[in-house]
A and B are shown apart, each in its own frame.
Chain A
Amino acid sequence: MDEIAILGVGMHPWGKWGRNFTDYGVHAARAALDDADLDWREVGFISGAITVRCGYPGYVAGSTFARALGFTGAQVASSYSACASGATALAVARGQILSGVCDVALVVGADTTPDGFLAPNAGRRPDDTDWLRFHLVGATNPVYFGLHARRRMELHGATREDFALVKVKNSRHAVHNPNARFTKEFGPDDVANSPVVSDPLRLLEICTTSDGGAALVVASMDYARSHGVTDPVRVAGISLVTPTYPDPVIDLPYLATDSSSAVVPAEKGFKESIGAQVYAESGLGPEDVDLAEVYDLSSAMELDWYEQLGLCKEGEAEGLLRTGDTSIGGRIPVNPSGGLGAFGEAVPAQALAQVCELTWQVRGEAGRRQVEGARIGISANQGLFGHGSGVLVRR
């Protein structure tokens, strides 16, 4: 797959700021443009990641950000794929660049989120599984995280202490991240003393929702060189895969899995296929990766990703964690940014924030959370209703 260059990255710190999402997006966009040393008027295409929680301006995020930066006649699109929206917006920008429609694109996602559980839209909608799972079962998002965590304990001998250790590790990483919302270092006792939300998971092990914004300036390799960037950071692979029928793993927002009674499930599960697509596009494999940013909606979910990205074999994630291999300074650091546990989720910005972190890391600009010698990083996440999301960034 042809590559594109990442010329600039920028973020608005995550928090609970209560301002309009546009502010965070514009802040992040300006930071990314500054980082790229580019004037906004050079941008030929703006790719917005949509938020569904901020009214109509959120549905047309691309043009909302463009107007707030000052309309220039640039082309625009907006993408929604839940938590995968940022990766989708990046993929749209890549398509525009590689097809020659534009040389430079700006990708932006930002959100202002309410407190508490994410919940479905209002109204009685019994033909919507997202509505049914709340109404008939009380199955919130953490309920699914709890089911998967318990399953991991049963299959692989994971313990509550392992799950807590993920939080402890990531909180140590976040201490050095000025964009993280939670920068306090937590110990195992802090986790153990926080209330259970969905057994076996506790409050400190489940990601909250946050305000935040992230942006990327991406360009063709030719443009990057003509701009004086001879060895740019590159996007070498993007995954937007869907599951393959039948998907035998129960996942939100569904009440049931597909049935495997008539068709045998694919050898690779949905989440394995997310990483596989990124590796296939980039011509690289797990053995080449120096670090990973993964969607730790829960502490236990991070362990699943180790295996699903091929960083270790199935059943070996706890060992990788316990030996410190996934801590900064270890063999394959995971979530050096602090991950979602330290950020809280700002849905349309999150996949872009992962790419920001990978970019800083492979540039060697991550300060005290720097992964030594990092040249190749992978991100992975997943959007509700079957949206894979993964990006490979390399130097």
Chain B
Amino acid sequence: MPGITKNRVPAVEGLFTVDEPPHLIGGRLMETGGYCFPKDLGGADPGAPDGAVEEALLSRRGKIWSFTNSVYPPPPPFVSDEHYQPVTIAAVELEEESMVVLGQVAPPLSVDDLSVGMEVELVLGTLYEDDDNQYLTWQWRPVDIGD
């Protein structure tokens, strides 16, 4: 609706920053330096019994490890309506963190636009909205696509 600006809020709090440029909020094991995502839901390192994790913003750029899509609407708790468009999904390798993170690919890109090894960066996209808010999630977008 022209003239009305909705609030941009994360669909789930605490997993990514909504400032520009956005970052995933991961965790970093204070004992070893190993990373995890999300911060509080990573698997523990059995060699680091203390387990203390500090917040760490993860790299915004990585390379596509693999990609696919969901042609049919995923079931709840995914939010979709009759206008569902297939979601494209990529698993992205972050070099410094030496880990792979899932995420949607920014629409309208499809699997035909992607290849393994392609460099992508983190952006924010709208997952669903109501009268007041746009609910955001993180998405991967190829770097050479531009703005």
- A residues contacting B by CB (< 8 A) are 116-117, 119-120, 122, 124, 126-127, 129, 131-140, 142-143, 146-151, 154, 195-201, 245-248, 250, 254-263
Contact B104 A263 (CB under 8 A): no
Contact A196 B71 (CB under 8 A): yes
CB-defined contacts of B87 to chain A, threshold 8 Å = 137-138
Give Cα A134–Cα B67 distance, bound, in whole angstroms.
16
Give Cα A250–Cα B46 distance, bound, in whole angstroms.
19
Give Cα A119–Cα B99 distance, bound, in whole angstroms.
26
CB-defined contacts of B67 to chain A, threshold 8 Å = 147, 150
Give Cα A142–Cα B80 distance, bound, in whole angstroms.
18
Instruction: Give the size category of B's interface with A.
Output: 35 or more
CB-defined contacts of B71 to chain A, threshold 8 Å = 195-199
Give 17 A-B contacts (CB < 8 Å), ordered by A residue.
A134-B77, A135-B79, A136-B15, A136-B127, A138-B74, A140-B70, A150-B68, A150-B116, A151-B116, A197-B70, A199-B69, A199-B71, A199-B111, A246-B34, A250-B91, A254-B102, A258-B99
Closest A residue to B93 by beta carbon equals A257
Task: Identify whether the interface residues of B are mostly helix, strand, loop, or mixed.
Answer: loop
Q: How far is the CB of A315 from chain B (nearest CB, A)?
A: 16
Closest B residue to A122 by beta carbon equals B76
CB-defined contacts of A148 to chain B, threshold 8 Å = 66
Contact A262 B29 (CB under 8 A): yes
Q: How far is the CB of B13 from chain A (nearest CB, A)?
A: 8
Contact A248 B69 (CB under 8 A): no
User: Closest 4 interchain pairs by CB?
Assistant: A146-B68, A262-B34, A259-B35, A262-B32
- From the candidates B35, B43, B116, name the one contacting A247 in the complex (CB within 8 A): B43
Closest B residue to A146 by beta carbon equals B68
Is B89 part of the contact surface with A, judged by Cβ < 8 Å?
A: yes
Closest B residue to A140 by beta carbon equals B74
- B residues contacting A by CB (< 8 A) are 11-13, 15, 26, 29, 32-38, 40-47, 65-72, 74-80, 87, 89, 91, 96-104, 111, 116, 127, 137-138
Contact B97 A259 (CB under 8 A): yes
Contact A134 B68 (CB under 8 A): no
Closest A residue to B95 by beta carbon equals A261
CB-defined contacts of B44 to chain A, threshold 8 Å = 245
- From the candidates A136, A149, A197, name the one contacting B137 in the complex (CB within 8 A): A136
A147-B89, A246-B34 are contacts. A137–B104 as well, Cβ < 8 Å? yes
CB-defined contacts of B47 to chain A, threshold 8 Å = 263
CB-defined contacts of A254 to chain B, threshold 8 Å = 102
Contact B75 A256 (CB under 8 A): no
Q: How far is the CB of B81 from chain A (nearest CB, A)?
A: 13
Contact A256 B11 (CB under 8 A): no
Task: Identify whether the interface residues of A are mostly helix, strand, loop, or mixed.
Answer: loop
CB-defined contacts of A124 to chain B, threshold 8 Å = 77
CB-defined contacts of A136 to chain B, threshold 8 Å = 11-12, 15, 127, 137-138
Give Cα A259–Cα B43 distance, bound, in whole angstroms.
9
- From the candidates B13, B34, B46, B68, name the one contacting A143 in the complex (CB within 8 A): B68
Give Cα A135–Cα B104 distance, bound, in whole angstroms.
11
Contact A146 B69 (CB under 8 A): yes
Give Cα A135–Cα B136 distance, bound, in whole angstroms.
11
Contact B100 A142 (CB under 8 A): no
Q: How far is the CB of B144 from chain A (nearest CB, A)?
A: 19
Q: How far is the CB of A87 from chain B (nearest CB, A)?
A: 22
Given contacts A134-B77, A261-B35, 16 further A-B contacts (CB under 8 A): A116-B75, A117-B74, A119-B75, A135-B11, A135-B77, A136-B127, A138-B104, A139-B74, A149-B68, A150-B68, A200-B68, A256-B26, A259-B35, A260-B98, A263-B32, A263-B34
Give Cα A320–Cα B138 distance, bound, in whole angstroms.
40
Closest B residue to A255 by beta carbon equals B102
A133-B102, A245-B46 are contacts. A154–B11 as well, Cβ < 8 Å? no
A135-B12, A151-B65, A247-B43 are contacts. A259–B75 as well, Cβ < 8 Å? no
Give Cα A200–Cα B37 distance, bound, in whole angstroms.
27
Which of B69, B70, B102, B111 gathers most chain A CB within 10 Å?
A: B102
Which of A122, A200, A259 gathers most chain B CB within 10 Å?
A: A259
Give Cα A261–Cα B29 distance, bound, in whole angstroms.
11
Q: How far is the CB of B126 from chain A (nearest CB, A)?
A: 12
CB-defined contacts of B68 to chain A, threshold 8 Å = 143, 146-147, 149-150, 198-201
Contact A134 B74 (CB under 8 A): yes
Contact B98 A134 (CB under 8 A): no
CB-defined contacts of B89 to chain A, threshold 8 Å = 137-139, 143, 147
Q: How far is the CB of B84 from chain A (nearest CB, A)?
A: 10
Contact B66 A132 (CB under 8 A): no
CB-defined contacts of B15 to chain A, threshold 8 Å = 132, 136
A136-B15, A151-B65 are contacts. A259–B74 as well, Cβ < 8 Å? no
CB-defined contacts of A197 to chain B, threshold 8 Å = 70-72
Give Cα A196–Cα B37 distance, bound, in whole angstroms.
30
CB-defined contacts of A256 to chain B, threshold 8 Å = 26, 36-38, 42, 99-102
Contact A261 B33 (CB under 8 A): yes
Closest A residue to B112 by beta carbon equals A199
